[in-house]
A and B are shown apart, each in its own frame.
Chain A
Amino acid sequence: MNILLLLVPISLILLGIAIGAFVWAVRRGQFDDLDTPAIDILRDDPLPAPRVDPVDTTNDAD
């Protein structure tokens, strides 16, 4: 049963790591929006170069 003295602390360390990872993910806002990111993977073609927006140019001229 001495193996328990090793295995139980290991499980506690893993628990600590799991909680730490969860805290990190929540703080980074990973759980704030669960709907929108799912849509991103539905696009398969690569993004073309961003177009110069007419609204931008008029405003930059201001």
Chain B
Amino acid sequence: MDAALPLRKTQAAERGSCHHCGEALASDAIREGDRAFCCNGCAAAATWIREAALGDYYNLRTSPAGRVQADAADFGAWDRDVVLAEHSRAVPGGREITVLTDAMRCAACAWLIDRALRRQAGVLDAGANAVTGRIVVAWDPQRVALSTLMQRLAALGYRPWLATGEAREQAQRRERRRWLLRLGVAGLGAIQAMMFAEALYLDTAQQMPIATRDFFRWITFLVSTPVVFYAGWPFLEGMARELRGRRLGMDTLIAGSTLLAYFASLVETVRGGTHVWYDAAVMFVLLLLVARMFEQRARGIASAQIDALARARPALALRERNDGSAEQVPVGDIDVGDVLRVAAGEAVPADGVLLDRAASFDEALITGESTPVRREAGESALAGSICREASARLRVVRTGADTRLSQLTRLVEQAQSARPQLARAAERVAGGFVVALLLCAVATFAWWHANEPARALEVTLALLVVSCPCALSLAIPTALTTAHGALARIGVLGVREDALPTLARVDRVMLDKTGTLSNGRPELDSVATFEGMDAATALSIASALERGSAHPLAQAFAHVEADRTAHGVHAVAGCGVEGEVDGTHWRLGRADFAAARADDGALWLGDGTRAFARITVRETMRDGAREAVAALRDAGVSIELCSGDAPDAVERFARQVGINAFHARQSPEQKLARVREAQARGEVVAMVGDGLNDAPVLAGADVSLAMAEGAALAQRAADFVVTSPSLTRVPQAIVLARRTQRIVRQNLAWALGYNVLAIPLAATGHVTPWIAAVGMAGSSLLVTLNALRLSRRERNQRRAA
């Protein structure tokens, strides 16, 4: 196998890459004319696209499609009334549903989905949005089943997930549109108000008749009123909220300054004073709305992508029928007393009592306890906890609103809306700043009132407007959200916002081998049998044992004919699995575990003492593994390979990708100990992994990245989920995190420097209110644009690569 590996690699290079998904081709590639495909799924998708005359997709796309999953998921349950009632809404002629998909990578994908769905009979309307990862389909349930449409999507490589419910989706869309409307009204209104204000400013020699001047003032008042009260409503609302909470924040200052400028102008208009400041008020609102819109957009893009993974809560469950077979049902259909099956790595759909035997559950989402809890048979398992290591059967005792599922959804949302610590600290500083500023304004007003009463109001207004610490409070969130958006675009989803600053400080990366350096799709290499067993039987038993396991190795057996079933299967971390097949107790895993022999790196099937078969599995290197290791080294990060695998396999892989420090046969505890050891030396450790047994290590490292093909559990424990198949995203993410830190520092320095400089100038009367508005909003805008640089440079870099 050692000698065979490089040979296979060169062959793969000659064979080229898949026409549809761009992945390197294996020996079993499917050829059609001059095009080649990696699997039947991709070939079928490409054939369909060509026959539907949508072949332009291949010319329009800017990044390759996702690999089409061969095992078509069953969407039959989506046709049920329970699912339709919660997730879709009635529209004229049919129903409409919003689904999420994480495979849309460019606008061409959205175009393809759009066209593909419209070709289906019974589809009324279809729209896909590549930025938010959402597909909206309106269809006529009388003419076509929803599952057919979803099957079509899955067959093209865009596996759909249920969104959190149609009402929520509608609310989000309305909110987005309302912001746009406010911005439009502010823009159009402010430009008009500025035009009239300009006429007043140009009247420097006071030649304008009083009647014309007042006419202009009243018109300006008319135009600026909707800007202040409709477009500026978010700020007014924020002020009301802050005042009710008895604290002073950014919104109080913004809304306070705006209202002061607006009402002071109104008073001057009524009594025919010398000055009005409507222009300052409207400009303040417009520019701040633009700055906030940028922030919201950056945040929206990042969270829309995360939605697809993190919010895809279990909408379906596997229920056992009376005859022992299982069926997929919506969570809403489950009744008390039903028996459910939960595979390892999946979430428990309803509160229940464990049947058969003990299992361990990760209840981190419910209790915050990161170590898994072991439950004996007869004890309860909570909805939302994640089944570890082995699959479980349970009898439902509580369903629907009684379970913790609804609470869980809220928890996930809370975790996502939680503002990073760094941003919270900046907000506290800004809060103190506002108090100091208000005192300063009162002092300024008092001084000017005593010395030059005519200018007192104007100078105070200028001071309030110019010194608004918006830039200070925007500095960190904009940079973080833009960075998350940029990360999401290269296929790295930030699950916890706090993790980005840590990622920037990383100086040691620990890599797992299986599923991280290798592409996680192992293939069967050879089978040698003993004790009179034939290869087919050995493979059949092995595949029965591995079925339902989320370990990456289980995939190697996915194509083996499934004619046996295993009972009481459970995984022994770092060793293998054991269970009963046809009444015999079998073990599958390391030689010392399965057959009491010296470990040689192969997979052994035995009964614990005797060996029956030796199965070798080969792994292929992940795309860009070598480049990733080189890039990490360039970034000054030391790299370590820790694997549960046999020494020779680990060593071979380490040599191939160019890693010098490697450790084989590491149990999760040993891996964790290595992480702790490095942390004790003062290093910041990042862990990249994907397997089930990585979860504690992922949680123990300072920052963790999980490869998305891995088990769901690992992704929950990770700070970042890498959805791109290429490992080069890891060094890219670290580089981006470091650049983010740099930008945050620049922003803070600018915002502080600006305020320190502007306040004395304003207090001494050198700044007029409209210059103050331009300066303040310009400062906010500058900070936001500086943050947006993160996303732009990233794109350029990708194009160059």
Contact = CB atoms under 8 A, between A and B. Distances in A.
Given A1-B212, A26-B177, A26-B180, A51 B188 contact: no
Nearest to A15: B192
Interface in A26-40: 26-27, 29, 31-33, 35-36, 38-40
B131 A35 contact: yes
Main secondary structure of the interface of B (DSSP, over half): helix
B649 interface: no
B532 interface: no
A32 B127 CA distance: 10
Contact of A19 (B56, B180, B184): B184
B753 interface: no
B55 to A, nearest CB: 10
Given A33-B131, A51-B51, A59-B144, A38 B107 contact: yes
Contacts of A11: 192
Main secondary structure of the interface of A (DSSP, over half): helix
Nearest to B173: A32
Contacts of A10: none
B312 to A, nearest CB: 22
Interface residues of A, number: 33
Contacts, number: 90
A22 B188 contact: yes
A47 to B, nearest CB: 7
Name, among B148, B155, B173, the residue most crowded by chain A CB atoms within 10 Å (CB to CB): B148
Contact of A36 (B51, B53, B107, B180): B107
A26 B184 contact: yes
A19 B110 CA distance: 30
A56 B56 CA distance: 23
Given A36-B111, A39-B60, A40-B111, A56 B120 contact: yes
Interface residues of B, number: 40
B567 to A, nearest CB: 35
Interface string B204-220: 00000100100100010
B184 A22 contact: yes
A51 B53 contact: yes
A61 interface: no
A6 interface: no
B119 A50 contact: yes
A38 B177 CA distance: 20
Contacts of B188: 15, 18-19, 22
Contacts of A39: 60, 107-108, 111
A31 B56 contact: no
B232 to A, nearest CB: 16
B145 to A, nearest CB: 7
B404 interface: no
B671 interface: no
A23 B184 CA distance: 8
A35 B180 contact: no
Contacts of A36: 107, 110-111, 114, 128-130
B53 A32 contact: no
Given A36-B111, A36-B129, A51-B53, A12 B180 contact: no
B223 A56 contact: no
Contacts of B192: 11-12, 15
Name, among A1, A11, A36, the residue most crowded by chain B CB atoms within 10 Å (CB to CB): A36
B597 to A, nearest CB: 51
A22 to B, nearest CB: 4
Contacts of A51: 51-53, 119
Contact of B181 (A15, A22, A55, A60): A22
A48 to B, nearest CB: 5
Contacts of A4: 212, 215
B555 interface: no
B409 interface: no
B212 A48 contact: no
A2 to B, nearest CB: 10
A53 to B, nearest CB: 6
Contacts of A12: 192, 219, 222-223
Contacts of B108: 39
A56 B212 CA distance: 71
B152 A55 contact: yes
Given A33-B129, A36-B110, A53-B121, 15 more contacts: A5-B215, A15-B223, A18-B188, A26-B180, A26-B181, A32-B173, A32-B177, A33-B110, A36-B111, A36-B130, A39-B107, A40-B111, A43-B56, A55-B152, A59-B148
24 contacts: A5-B215, A8-B215, A8-B219, A12-B192, A12-B219, A15-B188, A15-B223, A22-B184, A31-B177, A35-B107, A35-B131, A36-B111, A38-B107, A39-B111, A42-B56, A50-B52, A50-B119, A51-B51, A53-B119, A53-B120, A55-B120, A55-B148, A59-B144, A60-B121
* For the complex of A and B, 5 pairs with smallest distance between CB atoms: A35-B107, A36-B110, A22-B184, A33-B129, A48-B53
